[in-house]
Amino acid sequence: MAAAYFPGCAVRPFGSSVNTFGKLGCDLDMFMDLDHIGKLDSHKNAGKFLVEYQVKNVPSERIATQKILSVIGECLDHFGPGCVGVQKILNARCPLVRFSHQASGFQCDLTTNNRIALKSSELLYIYGALDSRVRALVFSVRCWARAHSVTSSIPGAWITNFALTLMVIFFLQRRSPPVLPTLDFLKTLAGAEDKCIIEGNNCTFVRDLNKIKPSENTETLELLLKEFFEYFGNFAFNKNSISIRQGREQNKPDSSPLHIQNPFETSLNISRNVSQGQLQKFVDLARESAWILEQEGVDHPSPSHNQPWGLAALLVSSLASGKSSSGKKRRRPASERVKSLLESIRGPSADANADGKRTLSTQTQ
């Protein structure tokens, strides 16, 4: 459909679906790449005639983007096979068209000329491939955050999964020795083929994994998870910002509760939406989770122990009872499904063992 209006354009996926940090059923983010149109031969010979494709002038690039997406959105709505629930969200900071694709079950977001987001996805792919602990730690933190409603699929004042991923990468850059290199270091390893400037932003970094020396850090995932909570439970968010480009704490350039620098558009704060209340909730949970893991390391559960332990203890921590470690009452987190899962995988009860009866229905449940 896009090629009918813009011959030579391409629609490229980015985000969680391609950076290896997405889970099954995650949204499919796409952008319509129009940059190659001008670089291709726009003149097509048709017999004795010459066909040339032109776009009318508009006051600004943003208005052009809105018009393009509006037309594509209308086409998807009226003629897109299996495309339903089409929404044209054109006044957002990054205008987009959102729709569902019935055949695949995907929730899709389409933007245009969002090439920096594509480079961000490529960078996360590189980081995820450098060390096997990276993705495991990111998924653990994301699972923990979702269980306690730190993140949400609904836009709002919550921390996003992208922000959490950058926080994990930053933390791994801060280890001694570091698990991951800084973005500035990856830039020094880049060759001429890696050079990339997008809208005046330097997006250059090495893309050949063989040029990056493996980390000498041998810390276990269990230790890294505990240290992650310990690190951010005591992080000076009131005065420091997070930047994976330099891999060190920096003075905050604004008064936002949480400041995480965009890796490429360095003047942007990707967590500008996060409120002070949501940040404090994250800090309180991080401190409690660090304490839980510290206790787990001291007191291993006995075989008869019927309480969650290890990572499961973080998902159904004392906050589930309605009170935090400080004694303040909190809203019950959405972790009932986790509790049910723990019950289902826990061994048979003492009564069941005594009777020796395990019916098929019980096993199924």
The tens digit of pLDDT for each residue in 325-334 reads 444 444 444 3
Question: CATH 1.10.1410.10 occupies which residues in the chain?
Answer: 116-281
Q: Does domain 116-281 have CATH number 1.10.1410.10?
A: yes
How far, in Å, CA of 98 to CA of 29, rounded?
9
Q: Is the CB of residue 55 less than 8 Å from the CB of residue 134?
A: no
Determine the Cα angle at 258 with ends 255 and 263, to 5°.
105
Output the pLDDT for position 204.
96
Backbone phi, psi, residue 364, to 5°? -60, -45
Average pLDDT, the chain: 83
Residues 182-211 have a mean pLDDT of 94
Which carries the bigger pLDDT value, residue 213 or residue 54?
Answer: 213
| Residue listed under structure tokens 């495991």 | 136
* Residue 322: pLDDT over 70: no
- Residue whose C-alpha is closest to residue 139's, from 218, 25, 22: 22
Read off the pLDDT band of 57 (50, 70, 90).
Answer: confident
- Residue whose C-alpha is closest to residue 31's, from 127, 151, 148, 119: 119
Q: What is the 3-state secondary structure (H, E, C) of 59-127?
A: CCHHHHHHHHHHHHHHHHHHHCCCEEEEEEECCCCCCEEEEEECCCCEEEEEEECCHHHHHHHHHHHHH
CA-based radius of gyration for the chain: 25
What helix, strand, coil percent values describe the chain, rounded to 5? 40, 15, 45
Instruction: Name the range with the highest mean pLDDT among 150-159, 233-242, 308-317, 344-353.
Output: 233-242
Read off the pLDDT band of 5 (50, 70, 90).
Answer: confident
How far, in Å, CA of 245 to CA of 283, rounded?
23
Which carries the bigger pLDDT value, residue 75 or residue 44?
Answer: 75
DSSP 267-310: T-BTTTT--HHHHHHHHHHHHHHHHHHHHHHH-PPPTT--S--T
- Residue whose C-alpha is closest to residue 190's, from 166, 209, 167: 209
* Residue 336: pLDDT over 90: no
Residues 86-108 have a mean pLDDT of 92
How far, in Å, CA of 219 to CA of 147, rounded?
26
How far, in Å, CA of 149 to CA of 331, rounded?
10
Read off the pLDDT band of 323 (50, 70, 90).
Answer: very low
Question: CATH 3.30.460.10 occupies which residues in the chain?
Answer: 2-113
Output the pLDDT for position 60.
87
- Residue whose C-alpha is closest to residue 166's, from 190, 187, 183: 183
Q: Is the dihedral of CA 336, 341, 347, 352 positive or negative?
A: positive
Output the pLDDT for position 339.
55
Residues 164-177 have a mean pLDDT of 97
Alpha carbon of 283 to those of 63, 172, 231, 324: distances in Å? 40, 18, 10, 12
pLDDT in tens, 17-54: 899 998 887 889 999 988 765 554 445 555 677 666 66
Q: Is the CB of residue 194 less than 8 Å from the CB of residue 206?
A: yes
Output the pLDDT for position 365.
40
Q: What is the 3-state secondary structure (H, E, C) of 148-189?
A: CCCCCCCCCCCCCHHHHHHHHHHHHHCCCCCCCCCHHHHHHC
**How would CATH label the architecture of 2-113?**
2-Layer Sandwich (3.30)
How far, in Å, CA of 237 to CA of 286, rounded?
13
Read off the pLDDT band of 343 (50, 70, 90).
Answer: low
How far, in Å, CA of 159 to CA of 165, rounded?
10
Which carries the bigger pLDDT value, residue 296 or residue 169?
Answer: 169
How far, in Å, CA of 343 to CA of 326, rounded?
28
Output the pLDDT for position 183.
97
* Residue 242: pLDDT over 80: yes
Output the pLDDT for position 354.
41
